[in-house]
Amino acid sequence: MSYDAKFKVWRGDADGGTLEDYTVEVNEGEVVLDIIHRLQATQTPDLAVRWNCKAGKCGSCSAEINGKPRLLCMTRMSTFTEEQTITVTPLRTFPVMRDLVTDVSFNYQKAREVQAFSPPADLQPGEYRMQQVDVERSQEFRKCIECFLCQDVCHVVRDHEDNKPAFAGPRFLMRVAELDMHPLDTADRRPAAREEHGLGMCNITKCCTEVCPEHIKITDNALIPLKERVVDRHYDPVVWLGNKIRRRGA
Amino acid sequence: MAHVPFSGGVHAPGRARIAARTLREDRWWLQPLVTFVCFSAWLLYGLVRASLQKDYFVADYGYLTPFASPCLSTSCVPGSTHFGTPFGEWPALIPFAALTLPFLLLFRLTCYYYRKAYYRSFWMSPPACAVPEAHVSYSGETRFPLIAQNLHRYFFYAAVVISLINTYDVLHAFRGKDGGFGLGLGTLILLANVVLLWCYTLGCHSCRNIIGGRLNHFSKHPLRYKAWGWVGKLNARHMTFAWITLGSLVVTDAYIALVSSGTIGDFRFIN
């Protein structure tokens, strides 16, 4: 069953833009990305939108639908009423390039700032057999498709552009947590988490978890455990005292 | 870390120029509003009840409200001093549990769930996802006083001790009028409350870290891994227990107040 839906789509670039009204045909079973493609095919051939897999696995079609960060390809039209006007805008945390496409290079910069996996220098390939219980905690984090919706929704950078240099964002703090929990990683990542990646700026309001299309428990399983590990290292007087005594005894 | 003045947030240079600060159309304001009202009401109730020093103990059945436990002064009603009376006369308006209540409040105040809830509802930082916060600058939990949130685990240790005290109080509530074994509705309410308090306390994120979360080789610590799994199950419901225990504390205290003041009688099953 088809109907005509009302859409508002942001059109423009870094110099300015507007929300433009469109009426587009919607068919049963379609997602918002299908409608954006129909819009391109029938009314606005120059509409810029980034997309790839149409299956929620490539993380390309991130945008904001009615103000909420979502994947265009995973947002079913059946979640809206036929009378509802659907507003589609680019991600509002990153610089816009054109229409629905933003420049997400902030995230690649932050990815480069995380120290790579550091196994023991003398460990040869095949020498270590990973147990399932040791690896399953990080497997959750490996589901990340890098859609950067968590980075987009995080108010630390969304509402404060000036925090961008000091804050890695939930996606990369999760990466730090993943590496810190790895049985073979030799780096102590806790000082860097606090001083270089801005873990203390996270006030765990859980928006990253709310928008994650892979349903990764970013806050409960990565950010809070990482905060607790930093507490182990930097704020626990019992640990501090123990280390002091051990050093004196050595 | 240096902070420059307000940079415009979603209106920062280079971002899509959209006049509305949020385009959300749902009732995003409802959840923070409900949280604000409920937390404020709870704090007001707790403050009034703890300061009143009245109707906190049912002598016939040994019911002592958690808001007055442990009662350690000679001003306490006879029978309510489960741990003796190391203190003399207690000043008016100061809660009998003044030694423990601050730690319980700080345990909840620094709890990761409550932090999320009050940052959103009281401090609007942010009030809801993709809704701009009301502040011009933001340093998170990197500076005083919010850097003290990192002390959560110490308040967790205190909360474990206080939960043990509450558990001991429940044992006293299995008492009949003649001093022998007894069981009433108040006993069951106190018991349910303390079980829920344990579920909340042991499901804490700090507990999860201490029990096993800090380990990298789970395979080398099978018992701690098992315990970490159990705590994880409670931790997944931490928000639920945070809310339920707010309610169970009020229900327990209100029931004891009503029975103690003679407004209602205790429904007895045994003795």
Q: In chain B, where does DSSP find H-type helix?
A: 30-52, 101-109, 112-121, 152-172, 185-202, 205-208, 222-235, 238-260
Q: Which residues of B touch A92 (CB under 8 A)?
A: 10, 15-16, 18, 130
Task: Tell me which residue of A100, A123, A141 sits closest to A186, measured CA to CA.
Answer: A123
Model confidence over A25-36: pLDDT tens digits? 999 999 999 999
- Judged by a CB distance cut-off of 8 A, whether residue B252 touches chain A is no
Distance from CA of A250 to the nearest CA of B (A): 24
| Cα-based torsion angle of the residue sequence B121, B125, B128, B133 in order, rounded to the nearest 10 degrees | 120
Distance from CA of B3 to the nearest CA of A (A): 7
| Cα-based torsion angle of the residue sequence B127, A221, A149, B142 in order, rounded to the nearest 10 degrees | 50
Task: Tell me which residue of A213, A169, A206, A216 sits closest to A72, measured CA to CA.
Answer: A213
Cis, peptide link before residue B32, omega less than 30° from 0: no
| Total H helices, total E strands in chain B | 8, 4
Beta-bridge partners for B197: none
Between A10, A210, A235, which is nearest B16 by CB? A10
Contact B208 A225 (CB under 8 A): yes
Residue ranges of chain A assigned to CATH 3.10.20.30:
3-102
Distance from CA of A5 to the nearest CA of B (A): 17
Q: Which residues of A touch B126 (CB under 8 A)?
A: 155, 159, 205, 207
Model confidence over A122-167: pLDDT tens digits? 999 888 888 999 999 999 999 999 999 999 999 999 999 999 999 9
Rounded CA gap, A15 and A113, in Å? 30
Q: Which two tokens stand for residue B29?
A: 């304001």
Q: Which residues of A touch B23 (CB under 8 A)?
A: 64, 66-67, 87, 89
Domain covering A105-239, topology:
Fumarate Reductase Iron-sulfur Protein; Chain B, domain 2 (1.10.1060)
Q: Which residues of B touch A89 (CB under 8 A)?
A: 16, 18, 23
Model confidence over A112-134: pLDDT tens digits? 999 999 999 999 988 888 899 99
- Per-residue pLDDT for chain B (271 aa), expressed as one digit of tens each? 334 344 578 999 999 999 998 999 999 999 999 999 999 999 999 999 999 999 999 999 999 999 999 999 999 999 999 999 999 899 999 999 999 999 999 999 999 999 999 999 999 999 999 999 989 899 999 999 999 999 999 999 999 999 999 999 999 999 998 889 999 999 999 999 999 999 999 999 999 999 999 999 999 999 999 999 999 999 999 999 999 999 999 999 999 999 999 999 999 999 8
Mutate to test the interface with A, among B3, B4, B6, B18 (most CBs of A within 10 A): B18
Task: Tell me which residue of B20, B22, B17 sits closest to A99, measured CA to CA.
Answer: B17
The confidence score (pLDDT) of residue A200 equals 97
Q: How far is CA A91 from CA A37, A100, A170, in A?
A: 18, 8, 16
Residue ranges of chain A assigned to CATH 1.10.1060.10:
105-239
- Judged by a CB distance cut-off of 8 A, whether residue B31 touches chain A is no
- Assess if CATH 3.10.20.30 describes domain A3-102: yes
Share of chain A above pLDDT 90, in %: 90
Query: Is the Cβ–Cβ distance between A208 and A153 less than 8 Å?
Result: yes
Taking only residues 184 to 243 of chain B, the set having a beta carbon closer than 8 angstroms to any beta carbon of chain A reads 205-206, 208-209, 213-214, 216-219, 225, 235-236
Which pTM was predicted? Answer: 0.93
Model confidence over A171-206: pLDDT tens digits? 999 999 999 999 999 999 999 999 999 999 999 999
Rounded CA gap, B161 and B143, in Å? 29
Mean pLDDT over residues A81-94, rounded? Answer: 97
> What confidence category does residue A250 fall into, taking pLDDT thresholds of 50, 70 and 90?
low
